[in-house]
Structures are given as structure tokens and as C-alpha cells.
Chains A and B, each alone.
Chain A
Amino acid sequence: MNEFVETLLEMQWHEPKSSYDVVIIGGGGHGLATAYYLATRHGITNVAVIEANYIGSGNSGRNTTIIRANYGIPESVRFYQHSLELYAGLEDETGCWIMHATKGLLWMAHTETGMRAERARALINTACGAETHVVGPQEIKQICPQIDLTGNGRYPVLGASYHVGAATARHDRVVWAYAQGAMQRGVTVLQHTKVTGLLRDGERVVGVQTDRGPISAGIVMSAVGGNVTKIAEHAEVRLPVRTHALQAFVTNAYGLDFPGIISDSELSCYVSQTPRGQMLIGAEFEPQPSYSMQSTFNSLASCAKKITNCLPFLRDLRVLRQWTGICDVSADFSPIMGFTGVDGFVISTGWGTWGFKGIPAGGEQMAELIATGKTPDLIAPFALDRFANDHSMADLGSAGTR
């Protein structure tokens, strides 16, 4: 048996019940992590996670697996740095091999404007606990010898910020680590169950209606991705969220010779090598809102064109598979976590293209919120009412590639 299979822990599926203390809609990373932390940190195990497809079938299984904390505003840096640290300890804590590897991330700049952004990023990151330096072209070449510093003569590399703690982990295995840990402690995970409505008692949300019948709940949390606004609508909660498609692709597998993670705002793409040796390449989300998961040739062509400017060796690599996810993008490009103003209904949404890196901290903090009824300090800035209060968490420094 190969190592990949041998190291998987067993999933313990439980029979569904008609009532739970907590029902979480969405069996992706955030939903399952919340269930896991409810069980492990707060002893709350009478929990169901309801998934319309199979666990990890949404964006948790479609992302480019990058874990980083180098955001542009202190509140975000602190949140993602905490998440990055939880990730680093997740294998020890759960006993599941998530293929976590700290690699470092080079965020390249080709213009003075770009350098200005990277210098700012390095300073604010380091001040908030996420070690990041500014590096020059020669250092970049040492870190990643494959880079063409002339950027194909068009995008010269002036420098980069180097985020030391950036890492990757196998996305599916993160989902399974949380699912396995939660189920082991009694959490029920219901796959292929669609939530069709919310049960109400007056204003209060008291459960979910599913295509397999009603399930009552003390509290309902939405951890839904691209379809979140449709779920929230059942509670008459309007979210400042639009859904956009995001595409990515992988190449065939090659020898493990590509160090680290490369990201580029101007070229809006990012690349890393998976533990299997595939080059995993992603882009920015599509500008027009859409629920379509149809991949486009334009996206593949333009992303391939852009990334090969700086990494010309990629030209001769063959594309294996291209796919699309639909992302819940908030009005200020930061997540929305917490109370909704409707009793019994809390949300974790707006995860756009940065959801994977936020799974551990998002789950841990939402679990604390549910268990204590209070918003933890770390996620207080990400509350939904920030939009009404005109205190958005807009992050210009990260408004390019996330």
C-alpha cells in the first residue's frame, strides 16, 4: 500500500438524527474545522455537518493549497498568521498527514509601484508577527533559480517580498483531518444532503430543512461557499457577497526541483509544486460575477502566458487538468465571520480566494463564538455589521493576487 493511503485515518460515519445542538451547513474545510474545534476545544459533539455533495467537493478541494499570512492590514495578518501557526501544528494534533511543508513565498514586483507595495507588505507583516523581508533580484535568483529576472524582457524583476513562513498542504487531506477528528468525537457528517430552507420560530432560526427532511438545531452556521447568498436568503440576511469564478490548472508531475511559492500581483498568477511534483498554477478570479464552473480557454491561455514570462521553463510543461471553483467574494475582499443579526444563525463567508489558508483559524474562532456566544477578539473586525458601520476591512495591499 502506498504511503499516501497508508497514512489516512479512518472516517467514522454516524447515522443521522433529527436534532442537534449545532448544525453546520457546508462540509468543506471551514464547516468541518468548526465542528472539529467545537468537539475538541469546547466538548460540543452533538453537531451535524451537512454537505450537498461529498466532503471537500467545493472550494476546499479546488484551491491552490497555499498557506500564507502576508496580507496588507494588521487585522488580517494576525488572523492568517494564527491560522498558519495552527496549520503547522495540525499534523501533530490530529495525527493526520496533511503533507504540510513550509516553503517560503516570493511575491515579485516589476515596477516601482509594485516594489512600494512589497516593501509595505514586508513591514506590516513583520510588525504583526508574520516574518517577511524585502529581497533583491540576486537573492530571488538564489531562492528560485528558474526565474528569468528579465521577465522575458518585459516584466523585469525588481525585487520581491519574501514571506518566510508560507507553506502548502494537501487540500483534501486537511478536509479529511478535520472530518476524521470531528467524527471520531461523535460529530455527524451527512453527505449528499441538500439544505433547501431554514426552520424558523418567529425570527429565530431553529434548524434546517433538507431534501431528506427537517433537522432541528440550537444554532445553525452557514459555512457555504459560492452559494452562500442563497442560503442566507432563507434567513433574510443580505450579504455583501458576489460569486465569481476562479480557475486554476496543474501540469503533469516532474522531479521535485521547484523551491517555494511564487506569486505576482502584476501578472496576477501564482505557482507552487505539489508534493507529487505537479506545477499548480492559479490566477485571479474572473471580474464578472458568475455561478458557472465551466473552465475557459482564455483563462488557461492568459495565465499560461503570464506565468511563463517569469518562469520560462514552464513553457514545455504539459497541462494536465484545468478546473474552476466559484468563490464568495465580499465587498472588501476580507472574510465575514460571526453573528448575522438573526438569532440562531451565524456565518463564515466571504472567503473568496483566500479560504483555504483561513480554515484552521476560521474554524477555531467560529467554534469559540458558537460555544461562548461571544465574538472572539481575533475575528471581531470581520463581523458582518462592519459594512453598515462603514468600517470595511479593505486590503489594497492584497487587492491584486491573493
Chain B
Amino acid sequence: MSDTTGAASPGRIVVDGRPIPYQAGDSVAVAVMRCGEHPKHGGTICLGGDCPNCSAIVDGVPYVRTCQTAATPGLVVRRHPAAGNPSFPAVAQPDITRSPVADHVDVRRETADIVVIGAGPSGAAAADAARAEGHEVMVLDARDSNEVVAIYGGPTVIVRRPNGMLHVHAHQVVVATGAAEIHPVCPGNNLRGIITARAAEQLHDAGVDLGNAVAIGTPPQGVPCTAVAGRIVRFEGTDTISAVVTMGDDGLEVTTPCITVIVGLGFAPRDMLSRMSGGLPVSVVGQAAEKFPLPPCPTAGTVCPCSRVEVEDLEGVWARGFHELELVKRASLCGTGTCQGGVCGPHLRSFVADRSGEVPEMFTARPASRQITLAEASADTYTDVFRRSPLHDEHLALGGQLDRFGGWWRPWNYGDHIAEYWAVREAVSLGDVSTLGKLVVSGPDAVELLERLYPTTVADIRPGRSRYVLLLNERGHLIDDGMICRETETRFVLTFTSGGAANAEMWVRDWAETWGLRVHVLDRTMSLAAINVTGPLASQLLQRVGLVDPPKFLQHRHDIVAGVPCHVMRLSFTGEASFELHHAVDRSVELWRALMEAGQDLGIKPHGLQALFGLRLEKGHVIVGMDSELDSTPRRLDMDWAVKMDKPDFLGKSALVRTAELPDHRRLFGFTMQGNAPTEGSPIWSDGNVVGHVASSFSSPLLGHAVMLGWLKHTPVPEQVQIDGRTASVAHPPFYDPEGRRARA
């Protein structure tokens, strides 16, 4: 085939390193064929976007159907290897992990009452009819560079366009995609020089000379060619066709020399989009909805050009007992390639119909009908948001190593977690606990709500006092912990862990509504920052910045600290006297700096989570989700003291009543061991068996040995176990200040 128009070319594309001129309006496939080349290496060309036989690597992206790609100046096309798969897209040096293609893909989002897919006669008629009824209609056709990729729930129509993606939200979709042409299946059908009748018409219209062309079946319109009667037996030639062998009703083979064979073998509905839209408001019109006769059962040749499946392969799987369409498909891989059965489907159905005596339905269609890259699929999609405390930049300025915990950036350490540890134990330290969950609950039924939510008694907490609480689910399993601070008879502030904060408001509101209780709930998690001032000198520091009379242990009040209004809560997680200062996020930097400044001569340092995890471990405080498991009851955590089973009811009580009677072999214990802390997660051994694992561990600078919390899941509980090849003793935390004098000091 070659160009006969002689028209001036608007530009050139580069094919396999060779510049090739094209004509205005050419697709890449047409431009390539104009030069007498085949865009792949052989096989029937349909130019309808239905088959894989013109796919190539276009601008670095393999498997692009070149018949659906407009030729544009400088477009770089490489053909797939003749055998085997294309390589992964080339990546730019020196970083081989970087993608060479432009990073940004535009997404447009539009709406339409009715989307009509296909602008042919049936599509145009459907669009006209819908418009006449006053509907807003959008018509999408691949020939106008609107490749419909898939129809999803909504219905949402995903469209690929040369300049980006289009997502259309519609009320109804009409599939009017017409019909695809049947490809020949016979020996030699992988040669070059076979084109469908429609492809011949397109090429002829584009001025491509088809040379000595022979037409079999329904001939193309207006294309000079020699019609040959009969059915195709085989194509002959090496690489390129030299002749076609046909057989008429007389049973005699006729060989016709030629360089192009134009096949008009009938049609199959182009119905992949409608087949993937089950249950959606999608209708099918025109040829896409028609039932065409199947081609004759294939006897030899390539059935599936994508997966290179031959008729003998189908025969092979049938002979092995794979006796239905889906099994034949899966066993032979016929129909599992780029065109997803577009070419082989009718032949495969015909084969199964011949063998089984029943015409099978076509196999299931799934997205994608036309293909998109992962970049196109994920365009304008975002992954998780990472949250920043208002002190983010303060931490960075202090050398903080920030890491993400539960979606927040938090300081892991400030370079030396042991120094941070000693600042807490011996002086004073600041911790950013802005990430804690914080809820205000107010209303006449607030006490009733909290009594039902928490396993602790709430009514006896006096205003100005607070209490540590567990939060259990209906199964009696620990889901969070925190503090209850009573402000007035009807108003409370609740705190939750950073990890539990996201669910806290929902949990409280859902139960309040379930029980019909009159309360108001306000989530303050992201409105209030919090700084934990902890250490033996914490009170002294706070007095310096204006908190004349810091609250006593488990008291709380609203006061001014360094000029900033704060809700001051006295508690302790580190084991030392600790004051949480909850305050407005926009005042946080000011407060932090004032505290750091005022504590300079006291040896103040901020501490990160690494130090905090060790400090609390010395006290034996459990971190929910780190030490507890999905099914940890208070009993298993040795925290029965935090549950008042004599309360009338609370969430999880009935489960705890039931499970209290059951034998239990799972307990969280403390362990001590000489030497450094073993890796968290280390198995715990006894008598050569794994009997549990270390949940948390820390090399205690103060105690000079390792302290741990860990699970033993066997009874009886041994006194000594092996961890990390060493002997460890079962111990009962706290490992430090068991009477809690320092926290109350």
C-alpha cells in the first residue's frame, strides 16, 4: 500500500526511529499503512478500534490502538516486538523509577441527562429523539476522539480523550456503538495484507493505494478490487500475503494471487459497554443490540490475536474436558487479551456451539472497554491527607524528626530520645498532644449518656475533677481510653486517644441518638491544640508563666497560662506530674515558645513519641492498639479496676458478664530482662514453644534493664520465659514509682 494523493504533509511521525509523513486527518495506523507498513507485524486490520492488530507503543505507552490515535507532529511510535511482550515503558535516567510521560492528566467532569455512545445512525437517532423530549444529550464517539472506557454505577461514563479524561455523570446511557467486523480465522491470518471492508473504505478514502486487492464476502463500497467468490481456506505468503485460497460450493480450492485481501465476513455487535452495565440505566440501540449470525466454526488459524490462541488450542482444551465457554476461555486464554474478546468472541462462541450443540452467551464484560493508563485512571485522585499540629514548624525548628501516626505528623524524637527521657524524669519537658480527641458533651442527659458509654462510674465525678476511663464496644473489647473531665452538672469534656479521635464523635452521637438522650456534642479535636507539661519541675514552670496554683492530681480548670486561655488538666501518662494545656490552635505557637523560654534554666526539652512510649512503659500504661488487641477485655489487660460491674448497665457489660465465666488464657503481663530491650513483636518462648509475644519494650535508662509489656497466651503462666534468646521474668507493672507518688507530687 502506498500514498497516491501526493498532497503536502502537515507533519511527520516517527515510526521505529524513521520519520514518516502523514496526511491531514490520518490516524497513526493509516499513516503507517500509507507507507506500506503494518502497524504491528501482521494480522487483519479493521481500523475500528476493535482488535489489537494495530496496537503499538505511542509516546512510550505500549498497547495503544494506532487506528484510534490521530497522527500529530513528532509523535513517536514504536512497534511491539514481533514475538513476546513489549517491555515496561522506558524510564528516564538516571532515576529509573521515574515515569517519562508528562505527570499531569487533566480531568473534566460534566453532567448530562442522557449520554449517547456512538454517533452513527442509531446513535444520532437516539440523540435526536431524546433532545425532542427536552433532554440534555451528550454524544460521545471514538471517531471524535472520545473513547468510552467504561460505564460505572451512577451511571458514570469514563471517557479518554487526547487532552485528558472526561467523567460524565448521566441519568441514562444509550449504547449505540454499532457492530464490529468479523475477522477471518484460517491458516495465514497473521500475515500482512488482510483488511476488513470498512478498513478498505477508510484507506481508499484517505488516498491509500491498496494495490492488487481481492475482496471476499461482502465487498467494500467504491474501492477498486476483484471480488472472489467462496469462503477463505487460507492465506499464502511469507510475512506478506501473496495469494488467497478460497473454496466454492464445488469443493475445489482456487488460488488467487494478490497483495491485499479485503474481507467482508459479517458483523458482531459491539456490545462490551452494554454487557458491563448490568443493573444500570443503560439501553442499547442499533446494531449493538442486534443478533448477528455467528461465523462458521473455525478449523485452523489464530482465533485470539491478543493471546495468540490457535484453533488447535481450543480443540486441545475441549478434548481435556473443558466444556463450556468460560472454562474454554480460561483454559486457553482465548479472549483474555487487549481486545477482551472483540475479535475472537464470535469464533469462540461458534466453536463451543459446534462442540456442545448449544450457542453460548458471550462471556462477562468488565471495564475497560477502551484502555487507559494507571495515570489516566488516577488523574485528579488523591491519597490520604496528612494532618499537621499548629506546632509543626516549631518541632522542625527544634530538630524534630517527624513521622506520621494515625494520619498526623508527630515528632518521633528531637535527635536524642534518651535526653528527652531524662528531661521528663528529672526536670520538665513539653509534649505536643494536640492530636488527642476532644469532645464537649452538654445536656440534661449527659451523665446518663456517659454512665452508659463508659464502664466507670461518672455521676460521682465532681465538677473540676476528672477520671481515667476505658471505652469498650458491645463485645466488651477495649476500643479506646481517655479522660472524663466534669465541668458542670450537665457539661463534660471527654478526651480520646489520637487514633480513637476519628471515631469518637460518631460513637458518642450514635449512642446518644440510639438511646434517645438529650445532649449536645461538639468535637474540638482540630480546634484545640494541647501541650503536655510534664516532669518534677512542671508545677514550677507553670507558676513562672502565671499559673499561680496549678491544679492537683486529677483536677482540671480553665485558667490563663502565659497569657493564653487554657483548659488545664492534671494527670499523668509519663509517671511524672503532668499538666495538659488545651488551648486554641491559633495561640499554640505563642504558648509553646513562652513555656520553652521560661523553662530554659530548668533544663526544659521537648519530648517526642519515642521517649513517651518508654516513659509510659515504665509505668505500665497500655497504649490502645499497640498493646491491646482487637479482642482485649479489661480482664485480659489486668484493668478490671477500671470497670464497675455493679453499675446497672454500660456498653459491653453483658458481654463481660458472659465472658467472665469462661476460662481465659490470654493476658497482658509485664516482663523484665537484663540487657537491652528486645525488638517489639519478639516471640516469647517457654519450654521451646512460642507462648506469646512482646507488645512494647524499652531499655529503661533509670532501671538499667529492659522492661516490657507482652502477651502470654498459654496457661499456666511460667515465672520465667525466653525472649530474644535471654531469660526474662514475669513482673507486674508499674516498673517505676509503683505508688504513683511522683504523678501526684
Which residues of A are at the interface with B, using a C-beta cutoff of 8 A?
1-2, 4-6, 8-13, 54-57, 61, 74, 110-113, 116-117, 119-124, 127-128, 145-149, 154, 172, 176, 191, 251-255, 257-258, 267, 276-277, 294-297, 300-302, 304-309, 311-323, 332, 389-392, 394, 396-397, 399
B331–A316 touching, CB < 8 Å? no
A315–B331 touching, CB < 8 Å? no
B378–A308 touching, CB < 8 Å? yes
Of the candidate stretches B14-22, B134-142, B674-682, B735-743, the one touching chain A is: B674-682
Across the interface, name the chain A residue whose C-beta is closest to B96.
A145
Within the complex, the shortest CB–CB distance from B379 to chain A, in Å, comes to: 8
B97 close to A (CB within 8 Å): yes
Chain B residues closer than 8 Å to A394, beta-carbon distance? 629-631
B681–A8 touching, CB < 8 Å? no
A305–B378 touching, CB < 8 Å? yes
Within the complex, the shortest CB–CB distance from B75 to chain A, in Å, comes to: 15
Chain A residues closer than 8 Å to B323, beta-carbon distance? 13
Task: Give the complex CA separation of A301 and B683 in angstroms.
Answer: 39
Within the complex, the shortest CB–CB distance from A148 to chain B, in Å, comes to: 4
Chain B residues closer than 8 Å to A2, beta-carbon distance? 308-310, 313
Chain B residues closer than 8 Å to A312, beta-carbon distance? 91, 97-99
Across the interface, name the chain A residue whose C-beta is closest to B724.
A123
Contact of B374 among A11, A113, A254, A319 (CB under 8 A): A319
Across the interface, name the chain B residue whose C-beta is closest to A118.
B681
Which residues of B are at the interface with A, using a C-beta cutoff of 8 A?
60-64, 84-89, 91, 95-101, 103, 150, 152-153, 156, 158, 167, 278-279, 307-310, 312-313, 316-317, 319-324, 326-327, 330-333, 336-338, 340, 366-368, 371-375, 377-379, 381-383, 403-405, 412, 475, 609-610, 625, 629-631, 633, 655, 658-659, 662, 664-666, 679-683, 685, 690, 693
B84–A255 touching, CB < 8 Å? yes
Given A1-B316, A2-B313, A116-B681, does the pair A255, B382 have CB atoms closer than 8 Å?
Answer: no
Listed from nearest, the 4 A-B pairs whose CB atoms lie closest are A120-B681, A11-B321, A394-B630, A305-B378
Chain A residues closer than 8 Å to B61, beta-carbon distance? 316, 318
Chain B residues closer than 8 Å to A316, beta-carbon distance? 60-61, 89, 99-101, 373-375
Given A8-B317, A317-B374, does the pair A123, B333 have CB atoms closer than 8 Å?
Answer: no
A148–B97 touching, CB < 8 Å? yes
Given A56-B330, A316-B375, does the pair A322, B366 have CB atoms closer than 8 Å?
Answer: yes
A4–B332 touching, CB < 8 Å? yes
Contact of A294 among B153, B308, B312 (CB under 8 A): B153
B338–A9 touching, CB < 8 Å? no
Q: List 27 A-B contacts (CB under 8 A).
A: A1-B316, A4-B332, A111-B404, A112-B610, A117-B681, A119-B681, A120-B679, A120-B680, A123-B679, A127-B690, A253-B85, A254-B86, A277-B85, A296-B152, A300-B367, A301-B377, A304-B377, A307-B374, A308-B375, A308-B378, A313-B97, A318-B63, A319-B367, A332-B630, A390-B475, A392-B630, A394-B629
Across the interface, name the chain B residue whose C-beta is closest to A179.
B321
B381–A305 touching, CB < 8 Å? yes
A5, A123, A124, A306 pick with most chain B CB within 10 angstroms: A5
Task: Give the complex CA separation of A395 and B306 in angstroms.
Answer: 42
- Known contacts A123-B679, A127-B683, then 6 further A-B pairs from the complex at CB < 8 Å, ordered by chain A residue: A112-B403, A252-B63, A257-B88, A297-B377, A304-B375, A313-B88
Chain A residues closer than 8 Å to B278, beta-carbon distance? 294
Within the complex, the shortest CB–CB distance from B50 to chain A, in Å, comes to: 15
Contact of A305 among B156, B383, B658 (CB under 8 A): B383
Task: Give the complex CA separation of A319 and B658 in angstroms.
Answer: 51
Chain A residues closer than 8 Å to B681, beta-carbon distance? 116-117, 119-124, 397
A318–B332 touching, CB < 8 Å? no
Chain B residues closer than 8 Å to A147, beta-carbon distance? 97
B62–A304 touching, CB < 8 Å? no
A305–B382 touching, CB < 8 Å? yes
Contact of A61 among B316, B330, B659 (CB under 8 A): B330
Chain B residues closer than 8 Å to A267, beta-carbon distance? 383
B631–A12 touching, CB < 8 Å? no
Within the complex, the shortest CB–CB distance from A246 to chain B, in Å, comes to: 14
Task: Give the complex CA separation of A305 and B89 in angstroms.
Answer: 18
Within the complex, the shortest CB–CB distance from A247 to chain B, in Å, comes to: 10
B326–A319 touching, CB < 8 Å? no
Task: Give the complex CA separation of A3 and B564 in angstroms.
Answer: 76
Contact of A11 among B320, B655, B693 (CB under 8 A): B320
Across the interface, name the chain B residue whose C-beta is closest to A322.
B367
Within the complex, the shortest CB–CB distance from A386 to chain B, in Å, comes to: 10
Task: Give the complex CA separation of A320 and B335 in angstroms.
Answer: 12
A123–B373 touching, CB < 8 Å? no
A315–B683 touching, CB < 8 Å? no
A12, A57, A191, A301 pick with most chain B CB within 10 angstroms: A301
A119–B679 touching, CB < 8 Å? yes
Task: Give the complex CA separation of A300 and B150 in angstroms.
Answer: 12
Within the complex, the shortest CB–CB distance from B113 to chain A, in Å, comes to: 20
B330–A294 touching, CB < 8 Å? no
Chain B residues closer than 8 Å to A1, beta-carbon distance? 310, 312-313, 316
Within the complex, the shortest CB–CB distance from A346 to chain B, in Å, comes to: 24
A111–B403 touching, CB < 8 Å? yes
B322–A11 touching, CB < 8 Å? yes
A123–B330 touching, CB < 8 Å? no
A313–B693 touching, CB < 8 Å? no
Across the interface, name the chain B residue whose C-beta is closest to A117.
B681
A297, A311, A317 pick with most chain B CB within 10 angstroms: A297
Contact of A320 among B85, B153, B313, B340 (CB under 8 A): B340
Given A267-B383, A304-B381, does the pair A254, B88 have CB atoms closer than 8 Å?
Answer: yes
Chain B residues closer than 8 Å to A306, beta-carbon distance? 383
Task: Give the complex CA separation of A348 and B713 in angstroms.
Answer: 25
Across the interface, name the chain B residue whose C-beta is closest to A175.
B330
Task: Give the complex CA separation of A306 and B331 in angstroms.
Answer: 32
A128–B383 touching, CB < 8 Å? no
Chain A residues closer than 8 Å to B412, beta-carbon distance? 112
Within the complex, the shortest CB–CB distance from B608 to chain A, in Å, comes to: 10
Within the complex, the shortest CB–CB distance from B672 to chain A, in Å, comes to: 20
Contact of B371 among A57, A116, A320, A332 (CB under 8 A): A320
Across the interface, name the chain A residue whose C-beta is closest to B377.
A304
Across the interface, name the chain B residue whose C-beta is closest to A110.
B404
Across the interface, name the chain A residue whose C-beta is closest to B308.
A2
Across the interface, name the chain B residue whose C-beta is closest to A74.
B690
A11, A128, A253, A277 pick with most chain B CB within 10 angstroms: A253
Given A308-B378, A309-B383, A319-B377, does the pair A255, B91 have CB atoms closer than 8 Å?
Answer: no
Within the complex, the shortest CB–CB distance from B476 to chain A, in Å, comes to: 8
Given A319-B372, A332-B630, does the pair A313, B62 have CB atoms closer than 8 Å?
Answer: no
Given A5-B331, A128-B690, does the pair A315, B99 have CB atoms closer than 8 Å?
Answer: yes
Contact of A315 among B64, B85, B86, B374 (CB under 8 A): B374
Task: Give the complex CA separation of A311 and B412 in angstroms.
Answer: 27
Chain B residues closer than 8 Å to A308, beta-carbon distance? 374-375, 378
A321–B101 touching, CB < 8 Å? no
Task: Give the complex CA separation of A130 and B302 in angstroms.
Answer: 45
Task: Give the complex CA separation of A176 and B321 in angstroms.
Answer: 11
Across the interface, name the chain A residue whose C-beta is closest to B101.
A316
Within the complex, the shortest CB–CB distance from B34 to chain A, in Å, comes to: 26
Chain A residues closer than 8 Å to B405, beta-carbon distance? 111-113
Chain A residues closer than 8 Å to B337, beta-carbon distance? 252-253, 320
Within the complex, the shortest CB–CB distance from A134 to chain B, in Å, comes to: 9
A304–B374 touching, CB < 8 Å? yes
B327–A54 touching, CB < 8 Å? yes
Task: Give the complex CA separation of A119 and B470 in angstroms.
Answer: 29
Task: Give the complex CA separation of A258 and B97 in angstroms.
Answer: 12
B98–A10 touching, CB < 8 Å? no
Chain B residues closer than 8 Å to A11, beta-carbon distance? 320-322
Chain B residues closer than 8 Å to A119, beta-carbon distance? 679-681
B89–A317 touching, CB < 8 Å? yes
Given A112-B412, A267-B383, A315-B101, does the pair A304, B378 have CB atoms closer than 8 Å?
Answer: yes
